[in-house]
Each structure stands twice: as C-alpha cells, then as structure tokens.
Chain A
Amino acid sequence: QSALTQPASVSGSPGQSITISCTGTSSDVGGYNYVSWYQQHPGKAPKLMIYEVSNRPSGVPDRFSGSKSGNTASLTISGLQAEDEADYYCSSYTSSSTVFGGGTKLTVL
C-alpha cells in the first residue's frame, strides 16, 4: 500500500494551464481505470474533481480534465483561476485497498 507519487508543488499564472502527475504501478494506477482526483482548500474537506480517470462530477468546471498513460495519471487545469489554488490529491483503486498520492500544492501566481 505505497502512496502514489505526486509533485510536491506546481504553480501557474491566471489563465495558464498546469498539469499534475500521479505515478503508481501496474497494481494500482496502471491496472485499473479507477483514478480519482480531489481538491482540498485549507481547513476544508476534500472535493471530488475527477473520477474514473477522466470523468467530471456535475458542477465541476470543464477546465478540469484527467487522463492516464501507463502507470501515470494526470490532472490538467486550464484557464487557471485564483480559486483553483489548493491542494490536489490523486487516488487509485487496488484489489485490496484504496491508495492516495502525497498531494500537490497548486499556487496561482
């Protein structure tokens, strides 16, 4: 049950696009199309942003998109806005557990 690997931090200016990677193994990210992404603002509960690799829940802006290639999943945020500044976590299903990434702090410059 090793954590998925995410960059500790990323940054971008308003209007730009950024991508956060999430690297696992063939036992988690690479083995299933069950990767989710969560946004967490300070002191708040996490919010589901992407499920099953690339699907957005109702109410999540289409600026948020997800993809996967091999053992690495990615979250892309286009047209960055100030309110996107938050921590982002990926997670993956495994046959015996759910595993999260270590989290990425997104700073909007």
Chain B
Amino acid sequence: EVQLVESGGGLVKPGGSLRLSCAASGFTFSSYSMNWVRQAPGKGLEWVSSISSSSSYIYYADSVKGRFTISRDNAKNSLYLQMNSLRAEDTAVYYCARERYSSRRYGMDVWGQGTTVTVSS
C-alpha cells in the first residue's frame, strides 16, 4: 500500500525549533519529488516547500524561506522539514505530499494524514 506517515509535530514556544519527518512506503521513494503543505486551523492549504527526487532542486515559500529546511534520505525512504525560529503563524497541520513524478508541477497524488504543529508560549 502506498503510504506517507508524518511525525514530529507538537507544542513549541515562539523562536523554538522542530523537525518533522515523513516515512514513505509502498513505492520507489527515490523516483518522486516531495512536498510539505500546511493548513492553519480553519484556513486553506499553503504550499511550504518542495524537493526533487535527487535533492537537486529545492524551493520554499517566501513565508518560511531562511527559517525552514527541507531534506530527504532516499536510503531511508524519508522526507524531513527542519523548522527554526518558529512563529505563532506557523501553527498548522503539516502534510507530506508526493508529486506524481520526479519533479514538481504534475500534481500531488499521495498525502499523509498530517502532523500538528502548535507554536505558543
């Protein structure tokens, strides 16, 4: 079964750090571009970051550039999001999502269940 499982969410104080993980199974992880997408409580979807299959191409939303770092370990079938200097507005459910192919643009066809990040003092 094709599956993505996020972990690492939790409660963190403003200015703090958190590392999210996404474990992939049921497909050849190294062949696909991956994304992080977030959704603040009661709000819409917001794309956060993308990484190509070989990590050659990495993109960030302006709202997280310089604070978040996306990475992947194809040997471990895992995607990561290192989040530093967290702000209250980063509070959201964070989804890991697979692109249909090795580069972004073709649509995100597999999504995890999401992990919740709450930034509050």
Contact = CB atoms under 8 A, between A and B. Distances in A.
A93 B63 CA distance: 17
Contact of A45 (B50, B60, B95, B100): B95
Q: With a 10 A CB-CB cut-off, give which of A1, A34, A47 has the most chain B CB atoms.
A: A1
A103 B105 CA distance: 19
Contact of B62 (A1, A47, A102): A1
A51 B46 contact: no
A36 B46 CA distance: 14
Majority secondary structure of chain A interface residues (helix, strand, loop or mixed): strand
Contacts of B97: 46
Interface in A72-94: 87, 89, 91, 93
Contacts of A1: 61-63
B45 A93 contact: no
B113 to A, nearest CB: 6
A46 B47 contact: no
Interface of B: 35, 37, 44-47, 50, 59-63, 95, 97, 100, 104-109, 111-114
Interface of A: 1, 3, 32, 34, 36, 38, 40, 45-48, 50-52, 57, 87, 89, 91, 93, 96-103
